[in-house]
Structures are given as C-alpha cells and as structure tokens.
Amino acid sequence: MLALPGAIMRSRQVEKAPRPFFQCAHMECTEPAILRRDIKGIELKLCKTHDLFYVQQESDEFCRVEGLDTVEQKRDWMLAKLASPRPTPAEHWAKVLKTPGLIHQAYEMANHFFARHTYSAPEPDSAWSSNSSEPALGEAPDPDEQAAFVAWLNQTAREEPEPPEFAFP
Ligand SMILES: [Zn+2]
C-alpha cells in the first residue's frame, strides 16, 4: 500500500504537552505571560500586550530624552540610524556583554560567539614569526598590511551568522 507523504509526516509528529500557564504580572489580565522583562529592577512575567505597553513606555521615554517630538524628527533619526554603518557581530556581542539586565541566554550566546571566534581564528603570530620581512621591534607596522589584516578580520566576523536582535535599554 502506498503511504501518502502527508500521512507519513503526521505519523512522525511528536505530541507536545501544552505549555504551562503563567499569569501575566497585570493581575486583571487573562492572557498568558510569554516572556520576562526587567522593569525598573523588578523582573515581571508579561503577556504580549503588556510587554508592548512597556516597550511603548521605554520608546516614549527615549524620544523624550532625545528630543524627538514630531513624526518628522523620529523619521529623520531613524534614517540617520539606518545610514550609519552596522556593527559587526563581534561589536554586537561585545555590547551584549557590557549591557546589564539582559536575559542570561544573551550572555551565553555572546560567550559562545567569542569562544568560537577564538578557536576558529588563525594565529597571526605563527604565520609571521618565521617571516624574515617581519618588522623589527619599534618599527611602525606597514599600514597596507595593517589595513589588509583589519579587512580580513572584518570579513571573518561578517561570515558569522547574523546575531539575533536584542533591545538595549
Ligand atoms: Zn497581560
């Protein structure tokens, strides 16, 4: 008998236990909490709607501090932000490590990134130490060679998968 692909796929599906219900920190709310957010030093479990409520509060505060009052000002700020160079994955993860109050998985992912990066990066010293044209101590490094090395570093960093976006407070 010929089994249809759909039947095969259904037979392979694992029955998932329903997720446990977590009460949203807003007691009048009946929606399940989907994440935890640090609100003024207190970790709150929040549903999607109430998470967005706090995101909006943070955004409003950011715009107030930055002096972004009108839609035109906010649009110009965004356009300038988009036009500025994007951080490399290494810069992104370094910023994650320096930012307090993120979920612990963010720090784990950052540490994994730097662990991978160290292991995968070739040792420049071993390639150069036997090179007789290596600059003597005190001599300024060749700017072309330096630029090529920086370009190579950036290229290596950009080949890493895109890091997920985290909201920096
Ligand atoms: Zn809620």
Q: How confident is the model at residue 143 (pLDDT cuts 50, 70, 90)?
A: low
- Say what percent of the chain tops pLDDT 70: 64
Dihedral sign computed on CA atoms, order 88, 94, 100, 102: positive
Q: What region, left, alpha or beta, does residue 138 occupy, with left being phi > 0 and alpha being psi -120 to 50 degrees? A: left
- Ligand 1 mean position to 50 CA, how many Å? 5
- Ligand 1 mean position to 45 CA, how many Å? 9
Q: Which residue ranges make up each domain of the chain?
A: 19-84, 86-120
Per residue in 95-122, pLDDT (tens digit) is 999 998 888 999 999 999 999 887 544 4
Distance of CA 53 to the CA centre of its chain: 22
| Residue that has been written with the tokens 């409003």 in this structure | 60
- Ligand 1 mean position to 33 CA, how many Å? 7
- Ligand 1 mean position to 69 CA, how many Å? 28
Average pLDDT, integer, range 75-83:
93
pLDDT recorded at residue 154: 60
pLDDT recorded at residue 22: 93
pLDDT(5) > 80: no
Lowest-pLDDT range, 2-6, 87-91, 104-108, 132-136?
132-136
- Ligand 1 mean position to 167 CA, how many Å? 20
- Element of type H or E holding 38: strand 35-39
- Ligand 1 mean position to 57 CA, how many Å? 15
